[in-house]
Structure 1
Amino acid sequence: MIIIGAVMAGGKSVRFGKPKAFAEFDGSPFYKRAVDALTPHTEKVLLSIRDEQEEMFGEIDLELIKDLPPYKGCGPLGGLYAMMKQTDGDAYLVLPCDLPLFTETAVSLLLNQFEEGVMAVVPEVDGVLQPLSALYLKGCLPYIEKQLQQGDYRMTGFLNEIPWKAVTDQELGVSKDVFLNVNDQKTYHDLIQKSTSLGKEGDNGAD
């Protein structure tokens, strides 16, 4: 099975105040952390962007996938549609660019949840689905297209039309922190502060 890594980086980052994809954590920009998490488990990793972001990402050695008309600006569902429409993958491992704690191990555990007969595996945390950090088979494409045609841009809408599997963070064997979505500066600064504090504790423990 050919698995394509799909990093969703087309958001406008309105609440964050600047492009989240380039915010740094632990020495790497957010988008690069997502790429690194996906790379060991995929044939290749692609970056989903808006047209106006092409220059911003121009020097990055990754294939950029822009939204396709008539579904430009339709959010991550439009980005996933463009990915599936323009590439030959059998399955797509999707990650947003603003989950800096989602590691290669978490990706591996998510992949392990795939089973015969399902077309999507979607994590669930505290009863809330996480459709932007999930696995989708190429067979989802016609259902995604149908939903876009209806003007419904929710990432979870088409799940009603397909066999799929929800997996909790406990079933995955990961901490809820893995799904920490950095949407604003406060969350970002709290993350940096917590990471710095943990680092200092580790240094003290080594003395």
Structure 2
Amino acid sequence: MGANHDDHHHAPDHHGRALRLGVGGPVGSGKTALVAALCRTLGGSLRLGVVTNDIYTTEDADFLRRAGVLDQERILAVETGCCPHTAIRDDIAANLDAVETLEDRFGPLDLVIVESGGDNLTATFSRGLADRQIFVLDVSGGDKVPRKGGPGVTSADLLVINKTDLAPLVDADLNVMARDAAAVRGDKPVLFTSIRQDPSASAVAAWVSEQARSWPHEPVPAA
């Protein structure tokens, strides 16, 4: 049913539309805080929209609106009513509707961030929904998490290991995490960050900005 619905959406021809960035990861890994940081850091240079996913609430969208990181109308919430990965991988219709609503209302946009609800290491975005994917882990699960792999860890375009400031408190070795992430990801990038220590998420924002700037959309007008 979802696949048939998707056929009615704009063809992903990569021209004249925003880059669609999926942000996924387990519950509590810091996805929403990262999205907020990206909006704060990039909002002055990129035309943004955000879609959040929660099962039965609009909690993540409400958090972003209260934080004032973006005009409230540019943040839309999807209530999936099902496992989070279903709405970003299997039946993406509701998310595509939300993305296209943002582009119709505010376009042309440079970047639409789609944040998944909290899921596990198997969560990945359909390429029909997200052009680039970030998977967020945090150190509180211990330094063994990256070597467990899973599609989210191994296939995301960028792996972010968050909350590095907690590493001494949970006895997590960041060098071990870096080694194991490289072993399962090959040459795909891995960035370590702490939103608490770096509220701008500067390294992640620089990566996202480069992806958006190289995307073949309508250019940002000169100031």
What is the TM-score normalised by the length of structure 1? 0.35
Structure ranking higher on relative contact order (CA contacts 8 Å, 6+ apart): 2
What is the TM-score normalised by the length of structure 2? 0.33
